[in-house]
Chains A and B, each alone.
Chain A
């Protein structure tokens, strides 16, 4: 990497961290540390919410997803504005009225202590593991591509986050997220416009979009109701609303962001801000991915984007086969490039017609052939080493950044990835420390201590969770399918947590004596269902466990209500 890129990356990170520390020198009370000074403005809350949700993997994976499957993923977010409105109407006023620090604190008020403790422990397990992955996921990609030491990359991200999160708590998290979002959006806009400028001379943005349309990448809206299709308007509106309600309403890493608002009005406006800008932002990130796709149609595109996998297969018995496949792929790629140039020229001179339609068909045929070669390459990699992850779409955007962006902009885009990783991790550590101190430590072990004691304890808990996340990120490389394992663990617990909150908000007659055993029974059944799937008795994607857990808590609570009433 060029020294200028190192300077840009280093300066951006140093500025963000020092800004976070300097801006929060006044934090001297546990309330300031855990909930902010209560003077956060709506736009800062909105930015903070968006920065928390958008992790590094968002900016690495999403363009790659658009490269492979087009823009249909944007529909996943269609339920988000509805979720924001429901939260503003039902959840925020309640949290504010009860003056809670954590979402789980509300459950003691509504039910009892044991229900609060159960949900907070489930959150700590789930989010503690996720924080490790938030650090690990970008580190593995950056270390593979740049040859950096994986553990060192983990430690740098973790150390920087711990530094300012311990110094200023919630305020530091929000203040740095403002800078991080500026870096992220500036970097993404520059990458987008630079990508357009790299297209061939006679190909403009409009021509690129027509090509994207011909190759099926502009599948933004799909009104067909199809349960097997993951992304369509209906799955986004129904499934998305449900998912975002649980994430923004019950996950402390998000709840903490809007509870730091100056007032209920500011917090509501913060959620509205998120509801307004989230969909356009996701659309834009996907559009960047589509532009990168078009760019690679006119430039040399690797057969497989993960260089570690390619190197491995090249050192195996399958090297010859892989090389032959690469040659055939390049041949088809060249033919397709010529077809695309002809398509653009014809469209510019004569507009759409029979000629462009025929060329479009030929382009799609070549694309299908290319995809076949890419599948065969993945198959060879699997045969060379069956434990390898052959999905390479996460490496598409970073390959473009490192090989085609100018000096300086590469450093800025790496700062984007680091900033995104840090902003999510900081919120997670902050939420983990707050839940540990408010729901566990203060409630059971440290009542009636001085405020200084709680402030110190909060900082120690932040360091502790930071170290746990780092340790987990370090050991993550030892397990091949760890990310999936963490997602499964999350799905095992998330449903029950959400179920308890749904009962709390919408089933007013249910009490703690009903919901606590219901949550335990639901959790047991969810784990049982999961193992039935593992043992091959049933077939069920683990994502459904979220919904099953939630519905089970509601049903069992209601049954227990009828039984115990008699």
Chain B
């Protein structure tokens, strides 16, 4: 089955490990950090 159609994969532009995706990863961490800070503030405010 591995020999079946996989052309779409061949066309894949595989970005370098720390290329354009670095920004996306940083954004993900930043957004989650903001979430954690908001949780913390939420906890502090109501307790």
Chains A and B come from one and the same complex: yes
Interface, chain A (partner B; CB < 8 A): 29-31, 34, 38-39, 74, 78, 81-82, 84-85, 88-89, 93, 96-97, 99-101, 105, 209-210, 212-214, 218-221, 233, 262-265, 268, 272, 275-276, 279-280, 283, 438, 442, 451, 454
Instruction: State A275–B42 Cα separation when bound (angstroms).
Output: 21
| Partner pick for A220 among B5, B21, B28, B40, CB 8 A cutoff | B40
Q: Are B29 and A30 neighbours in the complex by a CB distance under 8 Å?
A: no
Give every chain A residue within 8 A of B25 (Cβ-Cβ): 85, 88-89
Q: Are B5 and A31 neighbours in the complex by a CB distance under 8 Å?
A: yes
Q: Are B40 and A221 neighbours in the complex by a CB distance under 8 Å?
A: yes
Q: Are A219 and B28 neighbours in the complex by a CB distance under 8 Å?
A: no
Q: Are B9 and A99 neighbours in the complex by a CB distance under 8 Å?
A: yes
Least CB separation from A209: chain B residue? B46
Q: Are A38 and B28 neighbours in the complex by a CB distance under 8 Å?
A: no
Give the most central of B1, B5, B9, B13: most A CB within 10 Å.
Answer: B1
Least CB separation from B6: chain A residue? A99
Q: Are A263 and B36 neighbours in the complex by a CB distance under 8 Å?
A: no
B window 1-47: CB within 8 A of A: 1-2, 4-6, 8-9, 11-15, 17, 21, 24-25, 28-29, 31-32, 35-36, 39-40, 42-43, 46-47
Q: Are A30 and B47 neighbours in the complex by a CB distance under 8 Å?
A: no
* A-B contact sample (10 more), CB < 8 A, given A30-B1, A78-B32: A29-B4, A38-B5, A84-B28, A85-B25, A221-B39, A233-B36, A263-B12, A265-B15, A451-B4, A454-B1
Give every chain A residue within 8 A of B42 (Cβ-Cβ): 218, 220
Give every chain B residue within 8 A of A101 (Cβ-Cβ): 1-2
Instruction: State A60–B32 Cα separation when bound (angstroms).
Output: 26
Instruction: State A38–B12 Cα separation when bound (angstroms).
Output: 12
Q: Are A99 and B14 neighbours in the complex by a CB distance under 8 Å?
A: no
Instruction: State A34–B4 Cα separation when bound (angstroms).
Output: 12
Q: Assuming A88-B25, A221-B39, A262-B8, is B46 touching A210 (CB within 8 A)?
A: yes
Instruction: State A283–B29 Cα separation when bound (angstroms).
Output: 17
Least CB separation from A81: chain B residue? B32
Least CB separation from A275: chain B residue? B28
Q: Assuming A99-B2, A101-B1, A280-B35, is B8 touching A218 (CB within 8 A)?
A: no
Instruction: State A402–B41 Cα separation when bound (angstroms).
Output: 34
Give every chain A residue within 8 A of B8 (Cβ-Cβ): 38-39, 262-263
Q: Are A218 and B43 neighbours in the complex by a CB distance under 8 Å?
A: yes
Q: Are A81 and B43 neighbours in the complex by a CB distance under 8 Å?
A: no
For the complex of A and B, the 4 pairs showing the least CB-CB separation, nearest first, are A213-B47, A213-B46, A209-B46, A220-B39
| Residues of B contacting A: mostly | helix
Q: Are A93 and B28 neighbours in the complex by a CB distance under 8 Å?
A: no
Q: Are B40 and A438 neighbours in the complex by a CB distance under 8 Å?
A: no
Least CB separation from A39: chain B residue? B8
Least CB separation from A101: chain B residue? B1
Give every chain A residue within 8 A of B6 (Cβ-Cβ): 38, 99
Give every chain A residue within 8 A of B35 (Cβ-Cβ): 279-280, 283
Give every chain A residue within 8 A of B9 (Cβ-Cβ): 38, 96, 99, 263-264
What are 12 inter-chain pairs, A to B, with CB distance below 8 A?
Answer: A31-B1, A78-B32, A81-B29, A81-B32, A97-B14, A210-B46, A212-B46, A263-B12, A264-B14, A279-B32, A280-B35, A442-B1
Name the distance in Å between B5's Cβ and chain A's nearest Cβ.
6
Instruction: State A283–B39 Cα separation when bound (angstroms).
Output: 9
Q: Are A272 and B28 neighbours in the complex by a CB distance under 8 Å?
A: yes
Least CB separation from B7: chain A residue? A38
Least CB separation from A30: chain B residue? B1
Give every chain A residue within 8 A of B36 (Cβ-Cβ): 78, 221, 233
Instruction: State A212–B2 Cα separation when bound (angstroms).
Output: 55
Instruction: State A502–B24 Cα separation when bound (angstroms).
Output: 25
Q: Are A268 and B21 neighbours in the complex by a CB distance under 8 Å?
A: yes
Q: Are B17 and A89 neighbours in the complex by a CB distance under 8 Å?
A: yes
Name the distance in Å between B30's Cβ and chain A's nearest Cβ.
10
Give every chain B residue within 8 A of A263 (Cβ-Cβ): 8-9, 11-13
Give every chain A residue within 8 A of B24 (Cβ-Cβ): 268, 272
Least CB separation from B20: chain A residue? A265
Q: Assuming A99-B2, A99-B6, A280-B35, is B14 touching A220 (CB within 8 A)?
A: no
Instruction: State A31–B9 Cα separation when bound (angstroms).
Output: 13
Q: Are B29 and A218 neighbours in the complex by a CB distance under 8 Å?
A: no
Give every chain B residue within 8 A of A279 (Cβ-Cβ): 32, 35
Instruction: State A233–B33 Cα separation when bound (angstroms).
Output: 12
Q: Are A30 and B4 neighbours in the complex by a CB distance under 8 Å?
A: yes
Name the distance in Å between B16's Cβ and chain A's nearest Cβ.
10
Instruction: State A101–B21 Cα separation when bound (angstroms).
Output: 25
Give every chain A residue within 8 A of B32 (Cβ-Cβ): 78, 81, 275-276, 279
Instruction: State A221–B25 Cα separation when bound (angstroms).
Output: 23
Name the distance in Å between B6's Cβ and chain A's nearest Cβ.
5
